Structures are given as C-alpha cells and as structure tokens.
C-alpha cells in the first residue's frame, strides 16, 4: 500500500476531528459532576460515564481502522504508549495530591487506601471495587477518594484487549458490515452478561463495575466506528446531516430524561436499560460528527468545547474534591456546594491540562520531565527545579505520612458489614401475622436527653424494616431484639427506592403488619414519594418512620416531612432519633451519622422496639 505523506495524514486527522464530540464530553462530565455533588438533583447523572464509554469506543476504533486503511497494519506498541502518555501522568498527580490533601483534611479517609492506590496505578479499580464490596451507589459516609477511577480501569482494560481483537478481525474479515456485526455481537454479549449476573434487590456493584458486564458502551461505540467511520459521517451533505441532527437531539433529550428519572437502584437499567442508554448515546455521537450538521455546531459552542477538552481532568479531580469538601464539614447550601465543587474541579483540570496532560501527551514522558527539571532563572537564582522538587517532596511526604498514620480499615465499615449479615439472616418466623390496626398508644420519644430505655427482646414477628447504612450499622442490635423481624438494609438506599419494594413485598405476602422505615440519610425526597410509601403499605399496617441525624443541609427538611406525615396519617409514628442523640455525639462514629457499637446501636434498636405497637411486642 502506498505510504501516505505525514502532512496528508495530519490533514486527514484534522478532517476526522469532530468538535461536536468535545461538547458532548462536556455534557457527559457535567452530568457525573452534578450526580456526585448532589444526587437528588440528577439521580441518573452517572449515565454520563456510559456516554463517555461510547465516545471512547468510537474514537479509538475509528483511529485504529483509519491506521489500518492507511498502512495495512497496526502499530499497537505505539498505540499503547500514546494511551500511557495521555492517561497515566494526570492520574498519578491526582493520586498524590488527593492523598496529601486527605492527610490534612481528614486522615481517616485514607483507611485502607493502599489497596485502592495499587488498583488505581494498575488500572484495576473496578475489580477492586468488586472484591472490597465498595458500592458505587453508596451516597453517604466517608466516600472513597478514588472509587470513580473504576471507569478509567474499564477503559484501560478495553484499550489493552480490544486492539488485539480488532487486529484479528481486520485481518480475517474483509466486509465492513461483518466486522461491525462481530463488534455488535460482543456488545450484546456484555449486555446479556449484566442481565444474567444481576441479582435483583441485591447491590449491583458486581455488574456495574465488571469489565465483562459493562463493556457494551465501548463495544457499541466500536460498532458505530466500523459501520460509520468519522470520515464518512463528516462528509455527509447538509440534508443527511440535518436528519441525523434531529435524531441526535432526540437522543440527547432521551438521555436527559433518563438521567433525571432513573437511579442506581433502577432495575430497568440492569435488565437491558444500560444497553439502551449506550444505543441512544451512539445516536448522539453519530449526530455530533457531520461537519455540515447543525447539531454538531450546537455542541461546538466554545464554552462547551473548553470543558470538553478538559473533561478527563475534570472527571479525575471532581470526586476527590467532593469527598474532601464533605469530609471537611463544608456547611453551605446544596447549590453553593455544587458550585464550589464545579469551580475547583474546573480550575484543577485547567492546571492539569496545561502543565501535565498536554506536555506529556505531546512531548512524551522523558522529554517532559527533562523540560520541567530544566532551570529557569530569576536573576541569578535557578528556581525552576528547586520549586518543583520542593513541591513534589512536600506532597509525597504528606501522602506517605497520611498512609502510614491512617487507621486500619474503617471499623465502621466492618460494623455495617456485620449488621448487614445479621439483618440478612432468616428470621425465626418468616410468616407475618395478619395486619393489625395501628395503636394510638405508641409512645413518642421526646426530650434532649438520651432516654434510659431498658433493653428489650420481643419476637418481632410481623415487623418488616427497610433501611440504609444507618440501620445496617445497628443491624446486629436490631436482630438481637427482633429475632422474628424481616430486616432489609442496603447501603445508599433512598426513599424513592421504597414504594416499589414495599409493593413487591406486599404482593408476595411477605410484608409484615408493621413497616419500619429508616431512610433519608442519603438525601431529601419529595413529599409525594413519602405519601406513596405510606399508601403502598396500606392503612391497615402501622408505619414507623425513624427520623435522621446527619450533618447535611437536608436533615431538617427530611425530618419535617416525616413529622408532617405523622400528623396527617393515623397509622404513622415517628421515632425521634434526632432528638435522642442531639447532644450526644459520643454515640456516633466520626462521620456524626452512623451509630457506634454498642452505645449508639443499642439506643437505636431500643428506640425502634419502644415505638412498635403492642400487638407485635
């Protein structure tokens, strides 16, 4: 094959470059940023990661196929070196700075950080999340500084394996349609793997993190690149590009709709919904590429492009910023919190883009290090290497100090895990008695002192309790006091997850005569959501709502809604956990939210038992 001159190859690359994809990257990273900043605003914002997957799968495959057409082969070593230059330096900087910052802000954030750091530098964070049981959708407690790197790990594993697979396909299969079918079949296999391996009602981390079960976005992007190369899409005439633009706009609206309505606990996503998201994202990607298309020009708006070009850095930095701000007790409104997170993340990404990503990407690792180490003169003083070296040494010392002095793997996590195990044990009597009328004699817990409640053990038969990590932390104590109760706890559970769960338990005959709800810690909810919870339980069942004590802006709003429900519904009782512990921080772990064993957990369990109607005691 005739060798294409370098200048022509550069021109081809420029013609293939689609500015609209920069804007799409910007929208995707902003979705994720808002999700982590305040899940209540955009409960499905994590779908932005799936948009990234489709974009990445498309671009990488498009570049490799173009190289194949030009040269009749692929230099995979050069490809992998470019990936290392592009991704690794920025990650290493984030790891050092985030660890050093956590040492200053809250050293307990570094509990067990060694395994996470090793997973991050080996691009296996997704499998670390599976093995360690770190739920991506747990929105409370001390979140991991590095958990978001799971998606980078999936991409890197894809970059390692997919070029080898593609090389074989390109050599053995000549028809483009057949090549696309192979990639599409692999994408479908990944979707099917997610559907088959997902256990409804259980934590979805395994199928969410797994490369095998979450590679479909990358593979669908690859399918699109084989079927519709960027050079072909870019050359579409205005009429075709306009039609594709309408499809892209509809796809973007569908993505926004799903991001607003779906959450990490939506079973629809794990039953093929994620695959649908990838297909829709593929349509948006295709629509963003044509040079003559209005949709691509819309996404090429300069502010969006600026963010999109720095989206990798924004994604890397935003999660440590969210975690550090939260751990530092930043007491501001939700709006200001998200605004500050956005501003700091964009600023950090801009610095990273200018001084880390671009130099290493353009000049290579060795040349960039030599340039950074080259002296710059201020008068007769050589300051460049000294300042750089000094800053690196300080950051490394802080990071290492934090890792050495960090407490062992969070005891709170161990307590929650034990509580989950206790809650998950089969109750002594799993057949609830018939629903009973709610009693007007349920005591209200008031006052500012911790009530001196005698520890009581009652059968608990007929009690069904739903909770999040707070109830899970007290799971062992609850099981001891209510051996016959059905305890259903899940880290990160939200109030809006509950109506369907209650309906399912009710329709299957497993819902007890008393429904205990311990939710709200992870975020606010609409009054209509709480009304539906009570409605699904039915007027013949007593509903016991446990209010929350959490150093978050939504605490008072949540508790006010629970109190209002108690005033409106005769079968509703509120356990005033907030008042009971208000002046007793010693009952909490250092997150001021989860009850500490034994004082906090015993108190929590005793308050719940005291609030139960006498019919089930």
| Cα–Cα dist 205/127, whole Å | 10
Are 226 and 220 in contact, with CB atoms under 8 Å apart?
A: no
Determine if residue 360 is left, alpha or beta; phi over 0 gives left, psi from -120 to 50 gives alpha, anything else beta: alpha
With vertex at residue 173, the alpha carbon angle to CA 168 and CA 176, rounded to the nearest 5 degrees, is 115
Q: Which of 469, 488, 497, 606 is flagged as catalytic?
A: 469
Count helices and strands in the chain by DSSP H and E runs: 29, 7
| Alpha helix ranges (H) inside 274-410 | 274-288, 294-299, 302-309, 311-327, 334-352, 358-363, 365-373, 384-405
Active site annotation includes 594 = yes
| Alpha helix ranges (H) inside 364-518 | 365-373, 384-405, 411-424, 469-473, 475-481, 498-507
How many residues does the structure list for the chain? 617
Residue 28 structure tokens: 């995707």
- Identify the CA nearest to 517 among candidates 509, 531, 78, 508: 531
Query: Using omega within 30 degrees of 0 as the cis cutoff, is the peptide bond preceding 598 cis?
Result: yes
Helix (H, G, I), strand (E, B) or coil at 62: helix
With vertex at residue 232, the alpha carbon angle to CA 229 and CA 236, rounded to the nearest 5 degrees, is 140
* Phi, psi (rounded to 5 degrees) for 574: -110, 130
Are 371 and 359 in contact, with CB atoms under 8 Å apart?
A: yes
With vertex at residue 253, the alpha carbon angle to CA 251 and CA 257, rounded to the nearest 5 degrees, is 115
Active site annotation includes 318 = no
| Cα–Cα dist 466/498, whole Å | 8
Q: Which of 576, 591, 602, 606 is flagged as catalytic?
A: 591
Q: Which residues pair with 464 in a beta bridge?
A: 486, 515
Rg over CA atoms, the chain:
27
Are 211 and 157 in contact, with CB atoms under 8 Å apart?
A: yes
- Identify the CA nearest to 415 among candidates 242, 601, 577, 556: 601
Are 184 and 220 in contact, with CB atoms under 8 Å apart?
A: yes
Are 402 and 100 in contact, with CB atoms under 8 Å apart?
A: yes
Active site annotation includes 469 = yes
Helices 47-71 and 216-227 meet at what angle, rounded to 10?
Answer: 40
Are 252 and 284 in contact, with CB atoms under 8 Å apart?
A: yes
Q: Which residues pair with 465 in a beta bridge?
A: 487, 516
| Cα–Cα dist 310/322, whole Å | 18
- Identify the CA nearest to 487 among candidates 540, 437, 419: 419
Q: Which of 352, 594, 602, 606 is flagged as catalytic?
A: 594
Active-site residue set:
469, 591, 594
């Amino acid at each position: 094959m005739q060798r294409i001159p370098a200048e022509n190859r550069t021109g081809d690359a420029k013609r293939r470059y689609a500015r609209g994809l920069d804007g799409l990257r910007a929208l995707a990273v902003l979705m994720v940023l808002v999700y982590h900043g305040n899940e209540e605003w955009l409960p499905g914002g994590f779908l932005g990661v799936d948009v990234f997957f489709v974009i990445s799968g498309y671009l990488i495959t498009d570049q490799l196929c173009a190289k194949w057409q030009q040269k009749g082969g692929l230099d995979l070593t050069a490809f992998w070196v470019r990936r290392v230059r592009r991704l690794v330096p920025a990650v290493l900087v984030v790891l050092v700075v985030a660890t050093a910052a956590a040492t200053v802000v809250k050293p307990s954030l570094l509990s067990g950080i060694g395994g996470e750091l090793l997973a991050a530098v080996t691009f296996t964070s997704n499998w670390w999340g599976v093995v360690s049981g770190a739920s991506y959708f747990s929105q409370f407690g001390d979140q991991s500084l590095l958990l978001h790197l799971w998606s980078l790990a999936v991409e890197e594993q894809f970059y390692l394996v997919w070029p080898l697979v593609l090389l074989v396909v390109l050599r053995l299969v000549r028809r483009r349609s057949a090549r696309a079918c192979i990639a599409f079949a692999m994408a479908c296999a990944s979707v099917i793997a997610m559907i088959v391996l997902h256990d409804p009602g259980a934590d979805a981390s395994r199928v969410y993190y797994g490369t095998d079960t979450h590679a479909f976005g990358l593979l669908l992007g690859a399918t699109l690149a084989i079927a519709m190369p960027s050079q072909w899409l870019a050359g579409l005439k205005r009429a075709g590009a306009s039609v594709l633009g309408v499809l892209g706009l509809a796809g973007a609206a569908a993505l926004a709709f799903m991001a607003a309505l779906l959450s990490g606990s939506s079973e629809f996503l794990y039953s093929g919904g994620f695959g649908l998201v990838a297909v829709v994202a593929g349509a948006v990607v295709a629509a963003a590429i044509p040079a003559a298309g209005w949709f691509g020009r819309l996404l090429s708006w300069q502010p969006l492009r600026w963010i999109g070009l720095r989206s990798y850095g924004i994604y890397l930095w935003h999660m440590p910023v969210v975690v550090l701000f939260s751990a530092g007790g930043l007491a501001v409104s939700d709006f200001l919190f998200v605004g500050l997170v956005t501003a700091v993340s964009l600023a950090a990404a801009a610095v990273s883009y200018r001084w880390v990503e671009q130099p290493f990407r353009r000049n290579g690792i060795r040349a960039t290090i030599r340039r950074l180490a080259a002296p710059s003169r201020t008068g007769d003083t050589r300051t460049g290497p000294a300042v750089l070296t000094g800053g690196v040494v300080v950051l490394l010392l802080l990071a290492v100090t934090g890792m050495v002095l960090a407490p062992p793997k969070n005891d709170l996590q161990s307590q929650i895990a034990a509580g989950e195990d206790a809650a998950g044990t089969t109750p002594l009597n799993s057949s609830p008695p018939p629903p009973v009328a709610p009693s007007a004699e349920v005591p209200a817990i008031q006052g500012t002192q911790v009530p001196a409640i005698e520890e009581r053990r009652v059968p608990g038969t007929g009690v069904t309790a739903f909770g999040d990590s707070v109830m899970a932390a007290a799971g062992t104590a609850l099981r001891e006091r209510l051996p016959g109760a059905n305890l259903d706890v899940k880290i990160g559970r939200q109030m809006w997850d509950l109506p369907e769960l209650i309906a399912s338990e009710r329709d299957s005959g497993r819902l007890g005569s008393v429904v205990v709800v311990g939710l709200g810690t992870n975020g606010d909810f609409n009054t209509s959501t709480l009304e539906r919870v009570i409605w699904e339980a039915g007027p013949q069942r007593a509903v016991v709502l446990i209010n929350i004590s959490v150093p978050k802006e939504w605490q008072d709003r949540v508790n006010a809604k629970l109190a209002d429900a108690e005033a409106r519904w005769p079968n509703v009782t509120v356990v005033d956990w907030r008042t009971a512990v208000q002046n007793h921080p010693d009952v909490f772990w250092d997150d001021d939210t989860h009850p500490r064993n034994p004082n906090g957990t015993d108190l929590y369990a005793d308050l719940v038992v005291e609030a139960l109607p006498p019919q089930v005691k």
